[in-house]
Amino acid sequence: MTLERTLSIVKPDAVQKNLVGAVLAKLEAAGLRIVNTKMMRLTVGQAQAFYAVHRERPFYESLVTFMTSGPVVVSVLEGENAIARNREVMGATDPAKAAEGTIRKAYAESIERNAVHGSDAPETAKAEVAFFFSGCDL
Ligand code: ATP
Ligand code: MG
């Protein structure tokens, strides 16, 4: 048994389409518990820092513009193997490749406007949770 925590973001496309509840419901149905959640609008600096790992990629600037285009809902999720579980229920980055029943299959518009973010490993989960939440929030 590995109880883990991971960071989830409902991205601006899904928030704009009124899908916050639908996305969080799919995460909860997958056995993930919401430890804390908040709506915020990322600044350009915050989005650049959050996705700094992609700064050399051709899509980086467009990704930052998209992620700052409207509010997002940032959550800490907890559960058994929460990091992998969340990635599984999110589905593939490209919705055209996402499996049936996944969030991205249901709600993503494109490889960029793909509805959700989820941490990809224990180290990134820890860093991303700390990026958005203080110890006293959790
Ligand atoms: P995330 O990190 O948001 O959870 P991911 O881990 O599935 O998604 P990454 O490779 O980390 O995918 O890419 C980060 C984000 O950058 C993607 O979710 C998507 O919004 C955007 N992105 C990735 N690849 C492309 C691409 N080829 N063209 C446009 N945008 C892209
Ligand atoms: Mg990623």
Three-state DSSP state, 88: helix
Q: Give the whole-angstrom CA distance, residue 5 versus residue 81.
A: 8
Note the pLDDT of residue 24. 98
Stretch 25-39: mean pLDDT, rounded? 98
Per residue in 89-137, pLDDT (tens digit) is 999 999 999 999 999 999 999 999 999 999 999 999 999 999 999 999 9
Residue 105, Cβ density class (10 Å: 0-12 exposed, 13-18 middle, ≥19 buried):
middle
* Residue nearest to ligand 1 atom 10, measured at CA: 93
First to last CA, the chain: 21
**Rounded to the nearest whole angstrom, what is the distance from the C-alpha of residue 56 to the centroid of ligand 2?**
14
Radius of gyration of the chain (CA): 14
Q: Specify the pTM.
A: 0.97
Report which ligand 1 atom has the smallest distance to the Cα of 120: 6
Within 10 angstroms of residue 18's Cβ, the number of other Cβ atoms is 8
Note the pLDDT of residue 1. 73
* Residue nearest to ligand 1 atom 19, measured at CA: 112
Which residues does the annotation mark as catalytic?
Answer: 117
